Structure 1
Amino acid sequence: MMAEQQGNPEPPKNGQDPETENAEKPEKQPEEELPPFEIVTGSRFPSFFFKFQFRNVEYSSGRNKTFLCFVMDLQGKETGTFRGYLEDEHIAAHAEEAFFNNILPECKAGVKYQVTWYVSSSPCVGCAERITAVLKKNKNLRLMLLVGRLFMWEEPEIQDSLRKMKAAGCKLKIMGPQDFDFVWQNFVEQEEGQEGAFMPWEDIQENFLYYEEKLNEILQ
């Protein structure tokens, strides 16, 4: 059992692979034009992406995708539970925008929407503004947002956008070990020998506590 942490938590470790830490830096290649933007959707994604993209490290170098796993419960004139994930490619748009554009383009009258997102990192300012606007417009929508990491949380604009999301009714939380396990069980492709076996990384709990403290400070 992990001992209770005292004082200010240390910043999350960067999660770099030990064998690459001392490797020679590759020569800088000329920049190539990115292919057209696309949104990837589905029910499960490869475990490699989960282990890399969802890891709750402080420095997200190389983690240039956003994975958004959703559970949407409908009650009222329409009922049902829907699950899936969205993955954005490149920088033209983000998974949060894609959810409202492709998965839930409108909230119908007489239907209550209870939506939970499990996202690899918290939203940028633009996506936070879209979330805030949608929640203000649709009072029959409830959104809980659980994030693995805080994106650029030191920036005043980011902090302000997160507070506006909260004021609009969004419940914003940091993913704990049990939430990573839920994503593993419900949204990750289970390879042979991996079925039902979520293996937490060494610093998962201390990184969760670090980000939880920072989020609480921002939302006060």
Structure 2
Amino acid sequence: MASEQGSSQMDATLGRRIEPRDFVETFNPRALRKETYLLYEIRWTSSKIWRNSNRNTTHHAEVNFIEKHTSEGRIRPRTSCCITWFLSWSPCWECARVIKEFLSQHPKVKLVINAARLFHHTDPQNRQGLRDLVASGVTIKIMGMSEYCYCWEQFVNYLPGEEAFWPRYTPDPMMMFALELQCIILNLPPCLKISNSHQNQPAFFNLTLQNCHYEAFYLLALGLLTVFCRN
């Protein structure tokens, strides 16, 4: 039983899993840690699945992923596959540019990005970079409870009996990041303010809504405005 053997039962990905502490600390939406982790899943049309992870080195995690899998031939220009990323930070504008170029050269690749937090979300270039990705067909979402549970089950080397011990973070930061992501996609001014005195201390979140935010969200609720976030 899985509860007796932890994540090792019938698991070919065991050597590629990250430790529970790394996952809990790095993907906490209220902990603004500098490092970026990328958990990824590649699904080919042949039903083959590959899961692994990487992190920032001299390059950002997203660039490391692209360079690794293109150089090793796992993803070729004619490869048809779906790539799902679980990122502790959303891509910066420079990574967004690299991702766009990668997708233009690999037109049969579908990319879904799940981010725990938005990276420097008030920076105009970062905001435009995310909009450019959405316009290129990338699905971008903020991680919720189901994504944290999935990552724990598929990417974390949890101990025997701890398969259900995935972190239950408070939902407030998730909802606020999700709201800010909609503002970015709709090209609205930032509505989320984040403050913290120390990197390893929980951050404080505050929403500052303007009339344009209320108007846009009202139209979204009525179905009169569409957020182009493809599924």
Instruction: Calculate the TM-score normalised by the size of structure 1.
Output: 0.72
Change in Cα spacing, 1:110 to 1:152, as seen in structure 2 (3 Å) is closer
Distance 2:120 2:51 in 1: 28
Answer yes or no: is 1:66 the counterpart of 2:32.
Answer: no
Measured against aligned partners, the alpha-carbon deviations of 1:43-71 in whole angstroms (never above 9, x if no partner) come to 211111111110112x61xx121111111
Measured against aligned partners, the alpha-carbon deviations of 1:31-50 in whole angstroms (never above 9, x if no partner) come to xxxxxxxxxxx621111111
Distance 2:145 2:48 in 1: 27
Percent identity of paired positions between Structure 1 and Structure 2: 25
Answer yes or no: is 1:129 the counterpart of 2:97.
Answer: yes
What SS is found at the alignment partner of 2:80? strand
The equivalent position to 2:146 in structure 1, one of 163, 178, 181, is: 178
What SS is found at the alignment partner of 1:121? coil
What SS is found at the alignment partner of 1:206? helix
Aligned to 2:9: none
Distance 1:124 1:133 in 2: 14
Distance 1:103 1:96 in 2: 11
Aligned to 2:64: 98
Query: 1:121: Cα distance to partner?
Result: 0.8
Q: Tell me the amino acid that sits aligned with residue 148 of structure 1.
A: A
Q: Is the contact between residue 119 and residue 146 of structure 1 (CA under 8 Å) also seen in structure 2? A: yes
Answer yes or no: is 1:44 the counterpart of 2:10.
Answer: no
Q: Tell me the amino acid that sits aligned with residue 155 of structure 1.
A: D
Instruction: Calculate the TM-score normalised by the size of structure 2.
Output: 0.69
Aligned to 1:206: 172
Measured against aligned partners, the alpha-carbon deviations of 1:61-89 in whole angstroms (never above 9, x if no partner) come to xx1211111110112xx651111111224
What SS is found at the alignment partner of 1:149? coil
Q: Tell me the amino acid that sits aligned with residue 69 of structure 1.
A: L
The equivalent position to 1:154 in structure 2, one of 118, 122, 135, is: 122
The structure with the largest helix share of the pair is: 2
Give unpaired runs (5+ residues) of structure 2: 1-14, 187-231
What SS is found at the alignment partner of 1:152? coil
Q: Is the contact between residue 40 and residue 84 of structure 2 (CA under 8 Å) also seen in structure 1? A: yes
Q: How many pairs align?
A: 170
Q: Tell me the amino acid that sits aligned with residue 118 of structure 1.
A: F
Query: 1:193: Cα distance to partner?
Result: 4.2
Give unpaired runs (5+ residues) of structure 1: 1-41
Query: 1:109: Cα distance to partner?
Result: 5.2
1:134-149 equivalences under 5 Å are 134-149=102-117
Change in Cα spacing, 1:127 to 1:181, as seen in structure 2 (3 Å) is same
Aligned to 1:114: 82
Aligned to 1:55: 28
Change in Cα spacing, 1:111 to 1:216, as seen in structure 2 (3 Å) is same
Q: Is the contact between residue 135 and residue 169 of structure 1 (CA under 8 Å) also seen in structure 2? A: no
Distance 2:78 2:167 in 1: 42
Measured against aligned partners, the alpha-carbon deviations of 1:79-111 in whole angstroms (never above 9, x if no partner) come to 51111111224xx21110011111244643553
Query: 1:192: Cα distance to partner?
Result: 4.2
